Amino acid sequence: MSTEGQAGVDELMNRFSDMQGRATARSVFGEPLKVDGRTIIPVAQVRAAFGVGMGRGSTPKAEGTGTGEGGGGGGGITVRPIAIVEIDGQETKVKPIPDVTRLALAGMALVAWNVFWITYTIRRAVKRKQ
C-alpha cells in the first residue's frame, strides 16, 4: 500500500477511535438540569456503526502487468431522545418521549393493511356472486 493510502487509513481509524471514545454514558444521560426544585436528566439512545474495507491485487501475467489498490470506510452515530428522568424531593419519575415518526409510520402501515384486506374481501365477494 502506498504511504498516501496508509496515511488515509490511519486518519480514518483515528476518527473512528475518537467517535467511539465519545459514545459514553454522558452521551446517553445528559447533564442534569435544576428546574423549580426538581432535577431533570435527559436520556437518549445512541447507536454507532463503523466499517472499513481494503483491497489489493494484480493482473495475471498473461494479461500484462498491473497492480491495484483500494480502500474505504465509513461510519455514523445517531442520537435519539427517548425519555426524561425527573427527580424531586420525594419521588423519581421517568417520562418517555414518544417517537412521533415511528407512530405515524405504524399508523400508515395499519391503514394500508386494512385497505388491503377490505379490498381483498370485496373482490372475493364479487367473484362469488358472478
Q: For residues 95, 99, 103 and 104, what is the CA-based torsion angle, rounded to 10 degrees?
A: 140
Cα 92 to Cα 86: distance, rounded to the nearest angstrom: 6
Sorted by sequence, the CB contacts under 8 Å of residue 81 that are 6+ apart come out as 42, 43, 44, 45, 97
Cα 126 to Cα 130: distance, rounded to the nearest angstrom: 7
Q: What is the pLDDT of residues 12-63, one digit of tens each?
A: 777 777 776 666 667 677 888 898 889 998 888 888 777 777 777 766 665 6
Note the pTM of the prediction, 2 decimals: 0.52
